[in-house]
Amino acid sequence: MNRLERVEGQAISLPDADVDTDVIYPARFLLITEKKGLGRYAFADRRDEPGFPIGVGNDRPILIAGPNFGCGSSREQAPWAIGDLGIRVIVAESFGEIFYSNCFRNGMLPIRLERDRVESLRRIAEANGTILVDLKAKTVVAGDLASISFEVADDRRQALLNGWNDTTRILALHAADIARFEAAQKRAAPWLWT
């Protein structure tokens, strides 16, 4: 997983409420199991709508979404597809809980902010302004807005800053404990290690 410390660039505005995981990644593509290239299926049923802001070749790393973004089924392909579009940060008033967790597991930062803050960022996105998200400082800076602070659980923050997935996080934080356990097990049950 790639590290995420600072993300700066223009943002996409998608104000629709209740965008579920089937809209993000339609069910008919679920048999595709490789992560790479899933961006071409992201929002497949909406791309032809006039003015729909998300498409392949996106060069905007931040998405300003509507409330309850990513609700619906626990479809891990939804964050995979969004990530494959180059999006690293999603800002919304609220998220589907499973989608929210899956974003962290896939190297993206979902940020929950109050509605007025999201709408201020949306106006900047729609005016093609630049937004800076700093995970170390836990701030969003854009245009003439005062710095906006956000909350993120420290374990999730550390995982993104270090580029850890669940396994590499355990290895990084508990390597000595694992080595002690294995050494003790080799002495107590050597037949397991032949």
pLDDT, residue 91, reads 98
The predicted-structure confidence for 118-176, as pLDDT tens digits, reads as follows 999 999 999 999 999 999 999 999 988 889 999 999 999 999 999 998 899 999 999 99
The yes-or-no verdict on residue 57 having pLDDT over 80 is no
Question: Which residue segment(s) compose the domain that 151 sits in?
Answer: 6-164
Residue 77, in any domain of the structure: yes
- Mean pLDDT for the stretch of residues 167-187: 93
Residue 138, in any domain of the structure: yes
Residue 174, in any domain of the structure: no
Residue 191, in any domain of the structure: no
Q: Report the domain count for the chain.
A: 1
| Alpha helices by DSSP H, the chain | 21-24, 77-84, 97-105, 115-126, 154-162, 166-188
Residue 182, in any domain of the structure: no
pLDDT, residue 93, reads 98
pTM: 0.91
Residue 113, in any domain of the structure: yes
Residue 123, in any domain of the structure: yes
Residue 192, in any domain of the structure: no
Separation CA 191–CA 194 (nearest Å): 6
Q: How confident is the model at residue 56 (pLDDT cuts 50, 70, 90)?
A: low
DSSP helix, strand, coil percent of the chain (3-state; round to 5)? 40, 20, 40
Which residue, 42, 31, 29, 26, is CA-closest to 86?
Answer: 42
pLDDT, residue 184, reads 95
- Mean pLDDT for the stretch of residues 64-91: 94
The CATH number of residue 97's host domain is 3.20.19.10
Paired sense of beta strands 139-142 and 148-149, if any: antiparallel
Contact 35, 29 (CB under 8 A): no
The predicted-structure confidence for 14-55, as pLDDT tens digits, reads as follows 999 999 999 999 999 999 888 889 999 999 999 889 889 987
pLDDT, residue 26, reads 95
The fraction of the chain above a pLDDT of 70, given in percent, is: 99
- Mean pLDDT for the stretch of residues 103-115: 96
pLDDT, residue 147, reads 94
